[in-house]
């Protein structure tokens, strides 16, 4: 499974959620499918997308929040899993695209290729629902199940280490920030 195909498969489900992505390849891929005012790309603060998603989910309990994280990013902030689990907002879906790689900075391997299982780590931290998928069909079905369950979920999607050929955007960081902030005020 490629991440862009997985993103395309759930794109229509993202219109009524606050969406937070990590920087780099994922952000570029989401933008290549189509930016929306409810999408925020957390540039530079590596590892903290789930923490930003947690804050939004806790402050807007009726708003579904989806975080698109990466294996390298999550490994930089493993303590974030225990904080997610401690507050366990029912409206937060934490998707981790595990490509076993720091793809955005050249493709250096991460520990998940050597056996580290992020879903198990999330479960051990206390995240009440976890799943691991390797196909688009399972990704979509677990994505839907997580949103229907109304329970904090970490969904690990094993994906190929393939990304966009270039990270081109005409969306400025501040423009994205203010647009997203305005979106949150409407919810």
Ligand X SMILES: Cc1ncc(C[n+]2csc(CCOP(=O)(O)OP(=O)(O)O)c2C)c(N)n1
State the Cα torsion 142-147-148-150 to the nearest 10°.
120
Least CB distance from residue 103 to ligand X, whole Å?
A: 3
Strands, E assignment, 51-99: 65-70, 92-98
Q: How far apart are CA 119 and CA 150, in angstroms?
A: 18
Indicate whether 95 belongs to the interface with ligand X (CB under 6 A). Answer: no
Least CB distance from residue 121 to ligand X, whole Å?
A: 15
Site string for ligand X, 97-136 (x = CB under 6 A): --x-xxxxx-------------------------------
* C-beta separation of 60 from 87 below 8 A: no
Least CB distance from residue 125 to ligand X, whole Å?
A: 18
Site string for ligand X, 14-53 (x = CB under 6 A): --------xxxxx-----------------x-x-------
Of 56-64, 66-74, 113-121, 133-141, the segment contacting ligand X by CB under 6 A is 66-74
| Class of residue 183 by CB neighbours under 10 A (exposed 0-12, middle 13-18, buried 19+) | middle
Shorter beta-carbon distance to ligand X: residue 57 or 96: 96
* C-beta separation of 108 from 101 below 8 A: yes
Shorter beta-carbon distance to ligand X: residue 91 or 97: 97
Shorter beta-carbon distance to ligand X: residue 14 or 75: 75
**Residue in 73, 32, 33 with CA at minimum distance from that of residue 50:** 73
Q: How far apart are CA 27 and CA 8, in angstroms?
A: 13
Sites of contact with ligand X (CB under 6 A): 22-26, 44, 46, 70-73, 99, 101-105
């Amino acid at each position: 499974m490629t991440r862009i195909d997985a993103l395309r498969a759930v794109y229509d489900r993202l219109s009524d959620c606050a969406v937070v992505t990590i920087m780099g390849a994922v952000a570029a891929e989401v933008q290549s499918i189509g930016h929306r005012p409810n999408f925020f790309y957390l540039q530079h603060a590596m590892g903290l997308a789930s923490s930003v998603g947690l804050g939004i989910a806790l402050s807007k309990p009726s708003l579904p929040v989806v975080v698109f994280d990466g294996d390298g990013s999550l490994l930089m902030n493993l303590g974030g899993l225990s904080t997610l689990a401690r507050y366990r907002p029912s409206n937060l879906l934490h998707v981790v695209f595990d490509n076993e790689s720091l793809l955005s900075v050249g493709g250096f391997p991460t520990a998940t290729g050597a056996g580290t299982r992020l879903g198990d780590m999330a479960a051990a931290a206390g995240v009440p629902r976890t799943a691991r998928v390797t196909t688009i069909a399972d990704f979509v079905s677990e994505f839907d199940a997580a949103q229907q369950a109304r329970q904090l979920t970490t969904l690990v999607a094993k994906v190929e280490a393939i990304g966009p050929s270039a990270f081109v955007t005409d969306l400025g960081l501040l423009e994205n920030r203010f647009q997203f902030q305005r979106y949150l005020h409407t919810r």
